[in-house]
């Protein structure tokens, strides 16, 4: 297999995890000890926020009136795309029941979580789209109470358009909190009295680490950390468009990887020539983030065959994966590890990030090997049930008692003994050899 690195990253997606772990451990410990008081202290120290934590309905409505019409229309359009995709996901999964033996019926019942916490990041950028990605999806799943949190934006309250997007998507409770303190407040039900059953949403390394550490106490969607992009390109691809798309995601932050996997050396060279100029042309926040991201995390890999490209791409398991190549159907079938796939140059990650419909809260740091991104399924519990007749019980009880006794579990076996003795008095059954005292 011929795989050549034209550019190799000096850092890996794991590089920054260690420092975040230390900070988050200390913060969660403090919040567990001192509760709301500690949360307020962190909000002040980290985000310069000492205003109210809960946003009242009147405040939401007052601020919504200030949102310009075009912004309202755009948010309504995009939120509706996301909601309709989520509704279709909800339709795709069903309750069912099946008769496994005559008289034994078992089933699945999809039950939504009662309380979901949705985190909407707004540290570097105002992630308006993350608000409807999480809240609208939770609502489409049937979650009763959605608590949404977002960072006080640049020392003020929640960014006005983020707040509006939360409202349009159907948030029930909103808190002005960011980072670890927001995740902990949702997990413990601070300020609301409603501890979240599941916490979803993207965030920086501190947010992602807090979710990971609280997992178990609460459910989480996925490890949705710093954004990643990969592009697979063959010789038919437009090199400048590939470069624009790589830079398009590198602006997320200094730790956002952008990877190019290509079968064309000429294309690789052209993309590498174009990227620095595209970055230099960005406004300062984006320029600084993208320059560091490309320098430390950018990679360009050239392979001989498309099978090798699939192998490399599946190993990276990128959060977003674009394919600019011939025979798109082949790629859709062959690729297995990615958060969301963008087939053909007509679509691009930014379209999925903001507007087209499939969710943008997606797995990072290799989590796409075992998990998809946010969907209605994450909020739904496929609970199982069973019910049986006395005749079915006769078959099941005997096998159960025998297996239980083989395992040494006498009390389990006797739950079968008792039933058969009650339902079929005077009959002899093979219930296995009782476990010695």
Ligand X SMILES: NC(=O)C1=CN([C@@H]2O[C@H](COP(=O)(O)OP(=O)(O)OC[C@H]3O[C@@H](n4cnc5c(N)ncnc54)[C@H](O)[C@@H]3O)[C@@H](O)[C@H]2O)C=CC1
Tell whether residue 360 is a contact of ligand 3SL (CB under 6 A).
yes
**Contact between 262 and ligand X per CB under 6 A:** no
Residue 50: DSSP 8-state: -
For 336, list phi and psi in degrees, rounded to 5. Answer: -125, -20
CA–CA distance, 222 with 71 (Å, rounded to integer): 30
SS3 66: coil
Residue carrying structure tokens 């929640």:
158
Question: Which residues have a Cβ under 8 Å from the Cβ of 421 and sit 6 or more positions away?
Answer: none
Q: Kindly tell me which residue out of 353, 363, 375, 417 binds ligand 3SL, with binding defined by CB under 6 A.
A: 353
Unique residue bearing structure tokens 């795989």: 3
Residue 202 touches ligand X, criterion: CB under 6 A: yes
The answer to whether residue 319 is catalytic is yes
Contact partner, 402, from Zn ion, ligand X, ligand 3SL, none, Cβ < 5-8 Å per class = none
Q: Which does 124 bind (CB under 5 to 8 A by kind): Zn ion, ligand 3SL, ligand X, none?
A: ligand X
Q: How far apart are CA 326 and CA 348, in angstroms?
A: 16
Q: How far apart are CA 250 and CA 289, in angstroms?
A: 7
Catalytic residue among 127, 254, 320, 360: 320
The reply on whether position 219 binds ligand X by CB under 6 A is: no
Residue 142, exposed/middle/buried by CB under 10 A (0-12, 13-18, 19+)? middle
Q: Which is nearer to Zn ion, 192 or 256 (CB)?
A: 256
| Contact between 46 and ligand X per CB under 6 A | yes
Q: Is 157 in the site for ligand X (CB under 6 A)?
A: no
**Of 185, 207, 271, 431, which one interacts with ligand X (CB under 6 A)?**
207
Minimum distance between the CB of residue 42 and ligand X, rounded to whole angstroms? 7
Alpha helices in 93-235 (DSSP H): 128-141, 160-169, 179-188, 205-214
Q: Does 204 bind ligand X (CB under 6 A)?
A: yes
What tokens were used for 422?
A: 């009650």
Going by their DSSP bridges, the two strands 104-112 and 380-388 should be labelled as antiparallel
> Interface with Zn ion includes 245 (CB under 5 A)?
no
Encoding tokens for residue 204?
Answer: 């920086």
Q: By CB under 5 A, which span of 289-297, 351-359, 391-399, 428-436 interacts with Zn ion? A: 351-359
| 207 vs 325, beta carbon nearer ligand X | 207
Is the distance from CB of 96 to CB of 108 less than 8 angstroms? Answer: yes
Q: Give 321's DSSP letter.
A: E
β-strands 145-150, 115-120 pairing: parallel
* Residue bearing tokens 């011929």: 2
Residue 337 is labelled as binding a ligand: no
- Where do the DSSP E strands lie in 74-167? 96-101, 104-112, 115-120, 145-150
36 is catalytic: no
The two structure tokens encoding residue 153: 């934006």
- Is 353 one of the binding residues for Zn ion (CB under 5 A)? yes
When asked if residue 127 is in the footprint of ligand 3SL (CB under 6 A), the reply is yes
Could you tell which of ligand X, Zn ion, ligand 3SL, none binds residue 179, using a CB distance below 5 to 8 A set by kind? ligand X
Least Å distance between CB 123 and ligand 3SL? 11
Tell me which stretch binds ligand 3SL (CB under 6 A): 162-170, 289-297, 354-362, 379-387. Answer: 354-362
Nearest to 141 by CA among 381, 383, 376, 382: 376
255 binds Zn ion (CB under 5 A): no
Single out the catalytic residue among 251, 319, 322, 345. Answer: 319
Does 159 interact with ligand 3SL (rule: CB under 6 A)?
A: no
Tokens standing for residue 42:
């962190």
Pick the closer one to ligand X by CB: 150 or 262.
Answer: 150
Q: Which of 47, 319, 322, 345 binds ligand 3SL (CB under 6 A)?
A: 319
Using the rule CB under 6 A, is 226 a contact of ligand X? yes
| CA 288 – CA 80 distance, rounded (Å) | 34
In the complex, the residues that contact ligand 3SL under the rule CB under 6 A are 127, 129, 202, 227, 249, 252, 319, 353-354, 360, 362
Binding residues: 119, 181, 204, 227, 249, 252, 320, 353, 407, 412
Binding site as annotated, residues for Zn(2+): 249, 252, 353, 412
Q: Which residues are catalytic?
A: 319-320
């Amino acid at each position: 297999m011929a795989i050549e690195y034209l550019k190799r990253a000096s850092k890996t997606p794991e590089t920054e995890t260690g420092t975040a772990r230390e900070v988050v451990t200390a913060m969660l410990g403090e919040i567990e000890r001192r509760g709301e008081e500690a949360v307020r202290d962190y909000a002040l120290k980290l985000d310069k926020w000492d205003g109210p934590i809960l946003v009242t309905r009147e405040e939401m409505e007052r601020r919504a009136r200030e949102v310009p019409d075009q912004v309202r229309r755009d948010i309504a359009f995009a939120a509706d795309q996301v909601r309709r995709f989520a509704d279709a996901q909800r339709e795709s999964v069903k309750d069912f029941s099946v008769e496994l033996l005559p008289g034994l019926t078992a089933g699945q019942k999809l039950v939504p979580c009662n309380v979901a916490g949705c985190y909407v990041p707004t540290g570097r950028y105002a992630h308006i789209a993350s608000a409807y990605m999480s809240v609208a999806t939770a609502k489409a799943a049937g979650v009763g109470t959605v608590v949404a949190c977002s960072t006080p934006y640049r020392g003020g309250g929640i960014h006005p358009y983020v707040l509006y997007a939360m409202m349009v998507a159907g948030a029930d409770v909103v808190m002005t909190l960011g980072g670890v303190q927001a995740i902990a407040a949702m997990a413990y039900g601070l300020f609301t009295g409603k501890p979240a059953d599941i916490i979803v949403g993207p965030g920086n390394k501190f947010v992602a680490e807090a979710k990971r550490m609280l997992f178990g106490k609460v459910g989480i969607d996925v490890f949705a950390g710093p954004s990643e992009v990969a592009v697979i390109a063959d010789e038919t691809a437009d090199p400048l468009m590939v470069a624009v798309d790589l830079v398009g995601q590198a602006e997320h932050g200094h730790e956002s990887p952008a990877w190019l996997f290509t079968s064309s050396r000429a294309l690789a060279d052209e993309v590498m020539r174009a990227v620095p100029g595209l970055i230099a042309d960005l406004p300062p926040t984006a320029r600084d983030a993208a320059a560091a991201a490309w320098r430390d995390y950018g990679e360009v890999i050239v392979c001989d065959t498309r099978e090798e490209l699939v192998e490399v791409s599946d190993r990276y398991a990128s959060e977003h994966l674009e394919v600019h190549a011939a025979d798109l159907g082949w790629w859709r079938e062959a690729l297995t590890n990615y958060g969301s796939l963008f087939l053909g140059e007509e679509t691009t990650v930014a379209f999925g990030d903001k507007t087209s419909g499939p969710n943008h809260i997606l797995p990072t740091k290799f989590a796409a090997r075992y998990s998809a991104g946010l969907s209605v399924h994450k909020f739904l519990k496929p609970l199982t049930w069973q019910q049986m007749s006395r005749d079915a019980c006769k078959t099941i009880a005997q096998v159960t008692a025998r297996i239980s006794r083989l395992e040494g579990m006498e009390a389990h076996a006797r739950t079968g003994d008792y039933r058969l003795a009650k339902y079929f008095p005077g009959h002899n059954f093979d219930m296995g050899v009782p476990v010695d005292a």
